[in-house]
Structure 1
Amino acid sequence: MDTKIMKKLFLLDGMALIFRAHFALIRNPRINSKGVNTSAPMGFVNSLLEILKKQNPTHIAVSFDLPAPTFRHKMFSEYKANRQETPEDISIAIPIVKKIVDAFNIPRIEMEGFEADDVIGTLATEASKRGFQTYMMTPDKDYAQLVDENTFLYRPSTKGGIEILGVNEVLEKFDLDRIDQVIDLLGLQGDAVDNIPGVPGVGPKTACKLLREYSTVEGIIEHSDELKGKLKERVQGNVEQALMSKELATIKLDVPVEFNEQELLISEPNKEELVKIFTELEFKTLLQRVFPGEKKTITPKKSIKAGEQASLFGGSTPSSSTSTIDTEEVVEEEVIIEKSTIATVNKNYRLIDSPERYEELVSYLSRQKEFAFDTETTSLDALEAEVVGMSFSATKDEAYYVPVPLDKEQANNIYTYFKPLFANQEILKIGQNLKYDLQVLETANVEVKGPFFDTMLAHYLLEPDKRHGMDAISEVYLNYVPVSIETILGKKGKKQKNMKDMSVQEVYEYACEDADVTLQLKEVFEPLLKDKGLDKLFSDLEMPLMETLKDMEREGVNLNVESLEKYSVELAESVEQLEKEIYILAEEEFTISSPKQLGIVLFEKMKLVDKPKKTKTGQYATGEEVLQGLRNHEIVGKILDFRQLNKLKSTYVDALPKLIKSDGRVHTTYNQAIAATGRLSSTDPNLQNIPIKTSRGREIRKAFVARNNDYTFVAADYSQVELRIMAAFSGDKEMIDAFKNGRDIHTATAAKVFNVAESDVDTEMRRKAKTANFGIIYGVSAFGLSQQLNIPRSEAKALIDAYWEEFPSVKKYMDDVIGKARDNEYVETLMGRRRYLRDINSRNFTVRGMAERNAINAPIQGTAADIIKKAMIEIQAWMKSEGLKSKMILQVHDELIFDTHNDELELLKAKIKELMEGAYDIGVPLEVEIGEGKNWLEAH
């Protein structure tokens, strides 16, 4: 066997991988219970495990840059001078990652005066001589200069996946003849990240062209007299700079580091140290990946006999029955290690399975001020799930499980005992994701009346950007790891069991724990909500809204399936016609939906661009962004239309009829704890994302119809609510005056910015002003605005400058809200909803800039969300009090849709407008537009 292939060395650029991991998760960072951003360590470990488990290296090492200046800084004092400050989270992550590397028993090889790429370059060169197959793991393209027949660049992508570059791939990627020309290319074009100047005005294309003709930087300089025009001037005027840039870009291969094969050998990690680090970082899944099956035993739960039941029910008289509620030996429960201080306690979890016990439990719970409850069901679909059990807890570490048979008559007999308890409005009912439990019980004809406390929604208000699942928040706030559902049912997939197939003994402790943990979380969250001033928002807005959403979900919406079927045929014909036209333009037939075939046609046969982009797998990139840039080519425009129509057909037109439930209607689920700004989202199906900007997309709304001829759709839409909120927040007199006097805000803005009378504002001016109104207040840049309006960047900058000049109060508000956010590290809506901005004071302006945009956006978008939520609650309460036949059925951000009985049409339209416009006094009039029709499109 060839021993060269046997020796497989991975050399990791630690700093580059840390930066990559941090910024890959910048929009959704992983923050642990101590407030530490663990994105970089988590990303680094994931990358490390990926190669250890899939690539099976025989040898490995990691190199890090050291803070001391390198020889490049001494050569060129401005080297890397334009780099931003390292984000604080990365500075914290670096020593953590180094500890992880050490705990894995992987050698760290570093050298003062040199960068990691010099160290890796030296080691890779020596490894190649010794017959190693070496992979340099880094996203840094500069390493391409080191590639040879035994040495490869192993580049992880921020979008996932790996790009492995050998000699041929590098030459193709950079359009070069030899590997050593990578250095010349870098020297000519420079590097903005490292502040290597290169030759001004020489980009990659020009550099490659010059290198193909003159081979090296030195060759280009020697033949510079043959160049023409500006290029000749630039090369001859920057000879020293070009040579210096090439030297700065050259990775050194003679760093004084030892290549010790024995030390580089893969070895077993330090288990004790890794467990300690991962536990501290709260890396639950990663710990299991490294040490599968690592477990820790918790003290067994008590087994209580019937004679001891009195103490559990608060002194109620024990039954005369001599049977044991649970006499089976309780097996020690195994729980994966999540924390070093995981709770070990005795828990009184009891099975309640007889009429006598039902009465005792109900009697006990009826004397409490509050209790937590949970349901075990056959499905995640709240409207179709059947209850298989109910658990209750009113005292910490005590809970009770009531199995419920699937037989409806038997189930109803059990519910008879509990209905008065659930209907008792003197007792607070606590739950985690309560809306689901209320739905499944309502389907079982059990009405649950408030007051309510939902621990998921409480945590959502306290930490809107974090995960709100019970297991996750229990770990953080109770230092306790609940048994996961997968422990009971197995992993998700076809082989996962269903609750209805599980025995009572297999389920009851798990179910009891859910109720117990939920009760304990409530005790933690209630004072926290009050302390942060969120208690009113919770009790007066989020909890009543939960009930409103429950009613809307249950009501559903009628769908005209016949119209969708006809539209599906129409779309299929349009797709087929586009297909034929594309084939004619391509002069061949191919699978248009195949990125590979499409790329070959567009970029090899038709040669639409000189140097097409490629994906990590080496295929031509044919994504939406790439094709939009080529839309001026007729075939590309038709391909984009082909894709759009196919998506409409598959995602909505063909899919929606399949989602009709047994009552003949479509029922969406509203997610109350997803968007950090407070907005609602919709899933299964997502009815908030039905396209409205294109005529083809709008056709889909036609299929949403009133329930019968006695009903009419009514749509009520807040007009420009976010701009009105901005006007109120900023106190800008011009904007407020425009809204108070019913003037068109975009026309008024255009008149100010373009310095013309409102009567002289044309369509194009208004379009630009509208884009500016919505874009500028959310921090759009001149580049972003130029892209949106398809105008030169200079014109976009002039538009922004004019906007600030005419609306200085808006600029002052934005500056003030950012300043306040820097002091508090959070912003608030008018009703007190918070958005935490932990990066608002970062020294890294990319990270800080994102937080600043959120600081401006969150109070505006969040206030708009709060206003419509308040309106929904008040409208629903009024409709119920009046006993109306009409129903509120849909919410799409600023719009509410009603299935309205014709006898109530005028009354409802007037009252909806009154309640929506009066939902909250922001100091600027809220305006609601009302539409009606037999379908959603007509009403909108």
Structure 2
Amino acid sequence: MKKLAVIDGKSIFYRGYYAMPGLSLPDGTPTGGVYGFASIAIELIKKLEPDYVAVAWDKPKTNIRKRRELYPEYKAGRKPAPADFYAQVPILHELLDAFGWPFYELDDYEADDILGAFAKQATEKGIETCLLTSDLDALQLVGPLTKVYAIKNGLSNLEEFDIPAFEAKYGLEVEQFLDLKALKGDASDNLPGVPGVGEKTAISLLQDYRTLDGVYEHLEDIKPSVAKKLEAGKELAYISKEVGKIWVDAPVELDWAVASVDDTDLEKVASILKKLRFTSLEKRLPKHMQFGHIPNQPDTQVVAALKEAPWPESFLIEQPVFAELIGEDLWVSLDETTCFHQPAQRLAKASWQALELATIVTYDAKDLYHRLDALGISVHFGEVHDLRQGAFLINPLERDRSQAALVGKEGALPTEVLAANVRAYADQCKSFDEEPKVAEIARTFDFPLTYLLFKMEKRGVKIDPSKFATLSKELGDEHQRLEQEMYAMVGYEFNIGSPAQLSEVLFTKLQLPTTGIKKGKTAYSTGQAELDKLRGQHPIIELIEKTRELAKLKNT
């Protein structure tokens, strides 16, 4: 079955913006939102392998106009995004153009409506739809051919919702989600619901009476204190339902030909990722989106020492190059069986140019850069495989990761050192195959960072205190706004940093379910593992996670 992926662009961009604050190019151009968006989107594409991809966006100023005609307070009180948020949107357009992912926005309709319209159109064609968003409103779209991938926190923690997953989480059918929202409201959208009715009560009511109409038809059967709240909040409940409903009849048609993944301009993708300095993202692209190829892993026989040969007149590089600077001589192996050496300062320019295009396997890449620099040699290898760092990632508990331990003895000959590197590389490639997450960390983050760390150590890092002060204030303001939002939900102020007070709020005041929640000596735990179990039970859970993320950033 063919598959369509639709990305809720602004919500993902927003997550990326706050997850990567201050990320910018050397000329000051901000790129954090673009990086976060691309990082999340690429992981989803790798996971889902869709045939079509489209991006939906909330058009500034006009997207909520129709809903505000129904309820003027809809999304009231939201602060406008910072200036450098929207400054990055043209860069995002450039990236999407390279990917070949069409971008859709409408007057009077939100991105959720576009998601709904495309999901409906795909279902009519018998195409599966996968919706990527950080907004749980999209759960009302879950169906036999529609799944929602919701970002829980950070940039990589996705929760998949199909019909069984939704029912297991909420104890309701998907068709009841909108009625659930109508009863409990949605603080993030400023939808009131029924004042005084929380998620736990709302779920219980819908389990008993199925629909919002059913609840109001049985007020006489409901506990008087709850019935009184329901009666007083009836108008707000129905307004919340109408405003919170995703309008799947939005006037937009998906251009299937344009959305096809076959339209990706691979060279253009590689070019813009390089331009934005997103080297790690380029390496994380699925194979069908990569410009060029990744060298094959070696098939290596165990040898104690490589054979020494004369320095060749020219290099023919067809696989990773093993290189070590021993003394002032650069020792190199191109074929894993023979090696040769020459004083590094006497290497021809053509040799360095060839090495810069290769993947260099060495014991300590950053140290190699420093030692070459001390000889007056400036070089930047295309890729590196750092054996020392690879050993740490594979087995962090190993105490001795010295080169002598790698070779098996002190005072080894250069030919023995290179042979040990060949063996270690083969072993690490095998370990990376068995532990793909470790491989991703190494190849996406640790190895590409070696040159940057070398440059930072050589040059030092200038810090602009005013930028950090501005960022700290922005994070503090956002943290304070989220705190006020939580206080409004609970009805009084409390210390979010106090596990005891937070436990009191969640399990006593809001009466969230405690089934499966760890309990300490005095209170239920409010650690991240327990919050994950409560996700979707009440909007305050996501706000707690956001405040914790902001606090970590502010205190880093």
TM-score normalised to the size of structure 1?
A: 0.36
Paired residue secondary structure (1:157): strand
Q: Which amino acid aligns with 2:380?
A: V
* Cα distance in structure 1, aligned partners of 2:97 and 2:193: 38
* Cα distance in structure 2, aligned partners of 1:284 and 1:190: 43
* 1:285 to 1:171, Cα distance in 2 relative to 1, 3 A: same
* Cα distance in structure 1, aligned partners of 2:142 and 2:413: 57
Contact 1:103 1:274 in 2 (8 A): yes
- 2:389 maps to 1:481: no
The residue number in structure 2 matching 1:51 is: 44
The residue number in structure 2 matching 1:73 is: 68
Contact 1:488 1:506 in 2 (8 A): no
- 2:54 maps to 1:61: yes
Q: How many angstroms does 1:396 deviate by? A: 4.2
Q: Which amino acid aligns with 1:54?
A: K
Q: How many angstroms does 1:225 deviate by? A: 4.4
Cα shift readout 1:242-266 (whole Å, capped 9, x = no counterpart) = 1111111100011111144333322
Gaps of 5+ in 1: 1-5, 296-325, 337-348, 354-360, 362-377, 381-386, 399-479, 508-515, 533-608, 614-619, 621-625, 641-782, 788-843, 859-940
The one of 348, 351, 363 aligned to 2:329: 351
* 1:37 to 1:847, Cα distance in 2 relative to 1, 3 A: farther
* 1:16 to 1:489, Cα distance in 2 relative to 1, 3 A: same
- 2:111 maps to 1:127: no
Q: How many angstroms does 1:66 deviate by? A: 0.7
* 1:522 to 1:94, Cα distance in 2 relative to 1, 3 A: closer
Q: How many angstroms does 1:394 deviate by? A: 5.9
Q: How many angstroms does 1:490 deviate by? A: 11
* Cα distance in structure 1, aligned partners of 2:60 and 2:109: 10
* 1:162 to 1:501, Cα distance in 2 relative to 1, 3 A: farther
Contact 2:266 2:290 in 1 (8 A): no
The one of 158, 163, 186 aligned to 1:162: 158
Q: Which amino acid aligns with 1:114?
A: Y
The one of 8, 12, 28 aligned to 2:7: 12
* Cα distance in structure 2, aligned partners of 1:62 and 1:143: 15
Q: How many angstroms does 1:196 deviate by? A: 0.7
Paired residue secondary structure (2:130): strand
Paired residue secondary structure (1:627): coil
The one of 239, 248, 251 aligned to 1:253: 248
Q: How many angstroms does 1:198 deviate by? A: 0.9
* 1:281 to 1:175, Cα distance in 2 relative to 1, 3 A: same
Q: How many angstroms does 1:278 deviate by? A: 1.1
The one of 213, 227, 239 aligned to 2:234: 239
* Cα distance in structure 2, aligned partners of 1:192 and 1:50: 30
Q: How many angstroms does 1:351 deviate by? A: 3.3
* Cα distance in structure 1, aligned partners of 2:226 and 2:122: 41
Once the two structures are superposed, the pairs formed by residues 293-692 of structure 1 within 5 Å of their partners are: 294=292, 328-329=312-313, 331=315, 351=329, 391=371, 396-397=376-377, 481-482=380-381, 485-486=384-385, 503=415, 524-525=459-460, 611-612=513-514, 626-628=517-519, 631-632=521-522
The residue number in structure 2 matching 1:172 is: 168
* Cα distance in structure 1, aligned partners of 2:54 and 2:370: 54
The residue number in structure 2 matching 1:824 is: none
Q: How many angstroms does 1:92 deviate by? A: 3.5
* Cα distance in structure 2, aligned partners of 1:257 and 1:97: 21
The one of 16, 30, 41 aligned to 2:34: 41
* Cα distance in structure 1, aligned partners of 2:373 and 2:147: 59
* Cα distance in structure 1, aligned partners of 2:186 and 2:272: 37
Paired residue secondary structure (2:187): coil
* 1:490 to 1:196, Cα distance in 2 relative to 1, 3 A: closer
* 1:481 to 1:391, Cα distance in 2 relative to 1, 3 A: closer
* Cα distance in structure 2, aligned partners of 1:328 and 1:505: 20
The residue number in structure 2 matching 1:136 is: 131
The residue number in structure 2 matching 1:105 is: 100
Contact 1:106 1:267 in 2 (8 A): no
* Cα distance in structure 1, aligned partners of 2:246 and 2:138: 8
Cα shift readout 1:625-667 (whole Å, capped 9, x = no counterpart) = x424x5458xx99xx9xxxxxxxxxxxxxxxxxxxxxxxxxxx
Paired residue secondary structure (1:113): coil
Q: Which amino acid aligns with 1:193?
A: S
* Cα distance in structure 2, aligned partners of 1:848 and 1:161: 17
Q: Which amino acid aligns with 2:518?
A: L
Greater Cα offset, 145-154 or 86-95: 86-95
Cα shift readout 1:859-887 (whole Å, capped 9, x = no counterpart) = xxxxxxxxxxxxxxxxxxxxxxxxxxxxx
* 1:351 to 1:328, Cα distance in 2 relative to 1, 3 A: farther
Paired residue secondary structure (1:101): helix
Q: How many angstroms does 1:520 deviate by? A: 8.5
Aligned residue pair count: 394
Contact 2:194 2:230 in 1 (8 A): yes
* Cα distance in structure 2, aligned partners of 1:264 and 1:78: 36
Once the two structures are superposed, the pairs formed by residues 877-888 of structure 1 within 5 Å of their partners are: none
* Cα distance in structure 1, aligned partners of 2:164 and 2:214: 24
Paired residue secondary structure (2:239): helix
* Cα distance in structure 1, aligned partners of 2:187 and 2:175: 21
Gaps of 5+ in 2: 294-309, 321-326, 332-344, 346-361, 396-400, 420-450, 466-510, 528-539
* Cα distance in structure 1, aligned partners of 2:128 and 2:455: 55
- 2:280 maps to 1:277: no
Q: How many angstroms does 1:140 deviate by? A: 1.7
Q: How many angstroms does 1:216 deviate by? A: 2.2
Larger Rg belongs to = 1
* 1:845 to 1:9, Cα distance in 2 relative to 1, 3 A: closer
* 1:335 to 1:31, Cα distance in 2 relative to 1, 3 A: farther
* Cα distance in structure 2, aligned partners of 1:168 and 1:98: 36
Q: Which amino acid aligns with 2:167?
A: L
Cα shift readout 1:296-333 (whole Å, capped 9, x = no counterpart) = xxxxxxxxxxxxxxxxxxxxxxxxxxxxxx96435388
* 1:351 to 1:227, Cα distance in 2 relative to 1, 3 A: closer
Q: CA RMSD in A?
A: 4.9
Paired residue secondary structure (1:267): helix
Cα shift readout 1:504-548 (whole Å, capped 9, x = no counterpart) = 9979xxxxxxxx99999788559x79x99xxxxxxxxxxxxxxxx
* Cα distance in structure 1, aligned partners of 2:113 and 2:2: 22
The residue number in structure 1 matching 2:494 is: none
Q: Which amino acid aligns with 1:84?
A: K
Paired residue secondary structure (1:145): helix
Contact 2:33 2:88 in 1 (8 A): yes
Q: Which amino acid aligns with 1:42?
A: Y
Q: Which amino acid aligns with 1:331?
A: F
* Cα distance in structure 2, aligned partners of 1:236 and 1:145: 25
Cα shift readout 1:796-842 (whole Å, capped 9, x = no counterpart) = xxxxxxxxxxxxxxxxxxxxxxxxxxxxxxxxxxxxxxxxxxxxxxx
Percent identical: 27
Paired residue secondary structure (1:111): coil
Once the two structures are superposed, the pairs formed by residues 745-784 of structure 1 within 5 Å of their partners are: none
